Structure 1
Amino acid sequence: MMRSLFRFHGGVKPATNKAASTSEPIVKAPLPPRLVVPLHQSIGGTPHPLVRAGQRVLKGELIGAADGNVSSAVHAPTSGLVTAVEPALMAHPSGLTMLSVIIEPDGEDRWAELDRLNYKSTPPDELRDFVRDAGIVGLGGAVFPTHLKMNPGREGRTRTLVLNGAECEPFITCDDMLMRERAAGIVKGTAILRHLLQADEVLIGIEDNKPEAVAAMQTAVRAEGESMEVVAIPTRYPAGGAKQLIRVLTGIEVPHGRRSTDFGVQCFNVGTAYAVFEALTCGHPLISRIVTVAGNVDRPRNYEVLIGTPMSDVVRLSGQRTDTTRYLMGGPMMGMRMPGFDVPVVKATNCILVASDALFPPPPPEQACIRCGECARACPADLQPFELYWFSRAKNFGKAQEYNLFDCIECGCCAYVCPSHIPLVDYYRFSKSEIWARERDKSASDQARERFEFRNFRQEREKEEKAAKLAAKAAETRAKLATEPAVDGAAATPAADAAEDPKKALIAAALARAQAQRAAAQPKNTDNLSAETQAEIEQIEARRRTTGNAPASGPAPAGTGASAPDTQP
């Protein structure tokens, strides 16, 4: 019984240009003289480097540890010498650099000690950690850490596991050739994913322009005795989008702000399933991938390429033509222009599309939008691209978000059908980057405000603690003064006022201590005084006691060296 299929909104049918690169089998690319392995090759945190310059590594050895749960490890693609751990040009149109491990292969290609797991007897959490440490990410282009998608969710099971073999973009055939040649490994990897997700059914979606891949997968499913359904779906770009493929196979329309897992559906790429099989069954971490080389070359083909291999070395195997102007990573619809020819192959590199002005002529000049609505009819995400264009151009990012800007999958269908040749996707990418930048600035501002408010709170708390300590000390002083007799009349009055004011109590205590110290102090240099000097000192002390420490107003005593003022003319 044939499965009922559904349609997704929009889509286009560009020329596929796939036949040339599928005429020959996959071949392993030779070792390059230098490997540049970026540490950040997935969505999430950048792995921490575990090696240093001058260190020797083995094939499959861990060189970058995952940074938290939303990250994925990185391994040495071959054995050799680490010549540097430094920033290097990354495979991104920005031309920015990324911290990378640079390895000089020794030619021996010696493996490190490998670990294998029996997935049926291993706890699920341990399996997910193993997949994370094997560096496996989504090989369909999103490079999302695979272990995060291997969780069945709150219900403990998944209704439908979808395996994506659609590969809808023109020129790219790496998944097609992988299914033709390694279908058994894909099916075994899918069985592992099914075990972890506790999926009720498995649907393998492949576009109907790949009959050899469909036949190979059906044969492998029967040979492995698995209850999986291989479904040939209509060829229409972008049927390989996760939401679009789920719609075609199950009829489920994943709405804005929701995920497919909310409806019991999870989706993986066929290359990801094969990488899971390689990791758990053979112990091989993700150190290579199948890459299509197509476009302006003499011999388009698929190669198994080590991660970190310069793209120019791979393209040279297919015979790059002299009029080549640039490389695209990916296809002509969603591919990104590379900032150089020697940028490294990374886990996201499914295709190196070699471009020339003859093969891909410069686009015609952009003209004014005529509001024809063709972009809206072609949009597979059911958005209003022309509205997003106007808001993006006016930098009205709030309105762009209201029109669900972030639901745009940047497939390029709108720009493909636009009669005004407007590079619509470029506008959407600009808006997204600006919104992300403002969110980062807002987050930084919020953190600064929180630090300022906490500083004020800390200062107020310290003031309160200091006041409490002073009050406690004042209470202690009052209690002490209440039990001690007053030293003299001068001290008695402040002691009485201490009950009303803590500061007065402290002052009274200080005066009492000073008077006690003065009373106890012994005069210095008073030995061997004459009787006359001793009498003079006694007179001074008697006068001080009677006048309250006021200076004497009468004539100075005889013998003190002072004299009365001369009143005579």
Structure 2
Amino acid sequence: MFKSLKRSAKGAAVPHTKATAGQPTNKMPVPEHVVIPMSMHIGAPAEPVVKKGDTVMVGTVIGKAGGFVSANIYSSVSGTVQDIAPLRMVNGAMTTAVAIKTDGAQTVDPACVPPVVTDKASLLAAVQACGLVGVGGAGFPTHVKLAANTIDTLLINAAECEPYLTTDCREMLECSDTIISGITAVMKYCEIPHCIIGIERNKPECIDLLTSLTREMKGVEVKGLPMRYPQGAEKTLVETCTGREVPQVGPSGKPGLPADVGCVIMNVTSVSTLGKFLKTGIPLVTKRVTVEGDAIARPQNIEVPIGTLYRDVIDACGGVKEGVELGKIIFGGPMMGGAAPSADFPVLKQNNGLLLFSKKAAALPEPSACIRCGRCIEACPMGLEPVVIAQDFSNKDFAALKARCVDLCVACGSCTYACPAKRPVSQTMGLAKGWYMAELRKGGK
């Protein structure tokens, strides 16, 4: 396997388009209704605990975690439950969703009181009660991650390496107090002696602010990271911040995790959300979203109730720019995000961006034949060989795909970005990984 470069030196030199970084976050007016899916996290979906006609408030639990690897879901608005019905998500998956008609009052549920935290067990209970997941994109339930033992380093992922997205940047500039209180609680109750806050160097104001705030905090340091995508990928982040290399295969025989080398990673907005919950008792019910692109009238960061439809977010940002023909809506960043078939999907806990591009900007170049230049291999932060994996997938060669570790692909898109032939390399990798995992579940050999 190609491993001549460190993970931190791989990836792609994507443009650092961060036009909204200097704009304070706006708060969206309460929409007329929200649609809140019961699956906004990795793991088992939550089970609805409300019924049609029920009155709910901000912070009312409407979905209980469906297992240990799951998360509670809360109402982001006050109003009346209109329906509980199946919903096809923007990624094509089916789930159950709770539709709520808002009353505009945004009355907070009296049950939302700050939790009492005295040790690790009560901290983990508070994290579960918050409904907290990795809001940077992965959506992994945070209490599961923090339950790991033998952790000596807390890594705060503030890289925000995707073009356009500036939600974490604004969190650092606007909510630094709850970032600090969240870090303090995790370090204290999980008995983690060391914390590194990793921030890409294109955010000097964030580096300066958090450096000044943590100067007297024992065991905490702020580290400027190279401006190279995907600097925020967890294995890349571990290597850049600590010099440790997460093994390709962990002790369990599954892909290695940061915990295998003594690290646990939290997104900077995730740890800030925990800090807010410990202070107010209000769970995760809102999301800051970067709305950007050449087709949106008023690009901005906007705080919206979770479950707000893309359509309503777009309207709150002035709608599509006059005289522009909309070509594509992307949820997330342009590298790892996906294209939405319409604007009728809800904002989830882990959605950071909503990008609107004109037909001209969204037009894809015509791909040409692969010239086997190897740039996809050089770019892959996981040391994979996309050009070879594509051939193995074409041959439906399970053994070869296993040997090439296709399951380690993190879908970062660096291979596609680096390809001079403009081939859909990342998409092919995704298909190959999906086929391999399906065959694996069937006992493939």
CA distance in 1 between partners of 2:16 and 2:307 (Å): 28
Task: Provide, for residues 481-539 of structure 1, a one-character-per-residue CA deviation record: whole Å limited to 9, x for no partner.
Answer: xxxxxxxxxxxxxxxxxxxxxxxxxxxxxxxxxxxxxxxxxxxxxxxxxxxxxxxxxxx
How far did 1:251 drift?
0.8
CA distance in 2 between partners of 1:44 and 1:358 (Å): 38
Partner of 1:165: 158
Larger Rg belongs to: 1
User: In structure 2, which of residues 127, 130, 135 is the aligned counterpart of residue 131 of structure 1?
Assistant: 127
Cα contact 2:127–2:143 (8 A) shared by 1 = yes
Partner of 2:253: none
Partner of 1:36: 35
How far did 1:200 drift?
1.7
Aligned AA (1:300): P
- After superposition, the Cα gap between the structure-2 partners of 1:133 and 1:91, relative to the gap in structure 1 and judged at 3 Å, is farther
CA distance in 2 between partners of 1:76 and 1:225 (Å): 36
User: Where do residues 78-227 of structure 1 align in structure 2 (5 Å cutoff)?
Assistant: 78-92=77-91, 94=92, 96-113=93-110, 114-119=112-117, 121=118, 123-153=119-149, 155=150, 158-222=151-215, 225=217, 227=219
Aligned AA (1:67): G
CA distance in 1 between partners of 2:235 and 2:433 (Å): 20
In the TM superposition, structure 1's runs of 4+ consecutive aligned residues that sit over 6 Å from their partners are none
How far did 1:343 drift?
0.5
Aligned AA (1:240): G
Partner of 1:268: 266
Gaps of 5+ in 2: 1-5, 250-255
- After superposition, the Cα gap between the structure-2 partners of 1:58 and 1:250, relative to the gap in structure 1 and judged at 3 Å, is same
Partner SS state of residue 8, structure 2: coil
CA distance in 2 between partners of 1:391 and 1:9 (Å): 27
Identity of aligned residues (%): 34
Aligned AA (2:332): G
Cα contact 1:66–1:133 (8 A) shared by 2 = no
Partner of 2:10: 10
Aligned AA (1:354): L
How far did 1:381 drift?
1.1
**Larger strand proportion, structure 1 or 2?**
2
Aligned AA (1:323): E
Cα contact 1:35–1:103 (8 A) shared by 2 = yes
Partner of 1:251: 243
CA distance in 2 between partners of 1:337 and 1:90 (Å): 12
- After superposition, the Cα gap between the structure-2 partners of 1:202 and 1:79, relative to the gap in structure 1 and judged at 3 Å, is same
Partner of 1:565: none
CA distance in 2 between partners of 1:434 and 1:58 (Å): 43
Partner SS state of residue 275, structure 2: helix
Task: Provide, for residues 19-67 of structure 1, a one-character-per-residue CA deviation record: whole Å limited to 9, x for no partner.
Answer: x212320111111111000011100101110001111111100000001
Partner SS state of residue 334, structure 2: coil
How far did 1:226 drift?
5.3
Partner of 2:326: 324
How far did 1:326 drift?
2.4
**Larger helix proportion, structure 1 or 2?**
1
Task: Provide, for residues 388-438 of structure 1, a one-character-per-residue CA deviation record: whole Å limited to 9, x for no partner.
Answer: 111122222331121011111111111111122221111121122223333
Partner of 1:289: 287
Partner SS state of residue 358, structure 1: helix
Q: TM-score, normalised by structure 2?
A: 0.92
- After superposition, the Cα gap between the structure-2 partners of 1:249 and 1:225, relative to the gap in structure 1 and judged at 3 Å, is closer
How far did 1:68 drift?
0.9
- After superposition, the Cα gap between the structure-2 partners of 1:225 and 1:440, relative to the gap in structure 1 and judged at 3 Å, is closer
How far did 1:189 drift?
0.6
Gaps of 5+ in 1: 1-5, 444-569
CA distance in 1 between partners of 2:409 and 2:443 (Å): 24
Partner SS state of residue 169, structure 2: helix
User: Where do residues 351-500 of structure 1 align in structure 2 (5 Å cutoff)?
Assistant: 351-364=353-366, 366-442=367-443
CA distance in 2 between partners of 1:428 and 1:179 (Å): 34
Cα contact 1:46–1:66 (8 A) shared by 2 = yes
CA distance in 2 between partners of 1:219 and 1:282 (Å): 25
Partner of 1:515: none
Cα contact 2:7–2:382 (8 A) shared by 1 = no
- What is the aligned residue count? 428
Q: TM-score, normalised by structure 1?
A: 0.73
The alignment yields a C-alpha RMSD, in angstroms, of 1.7
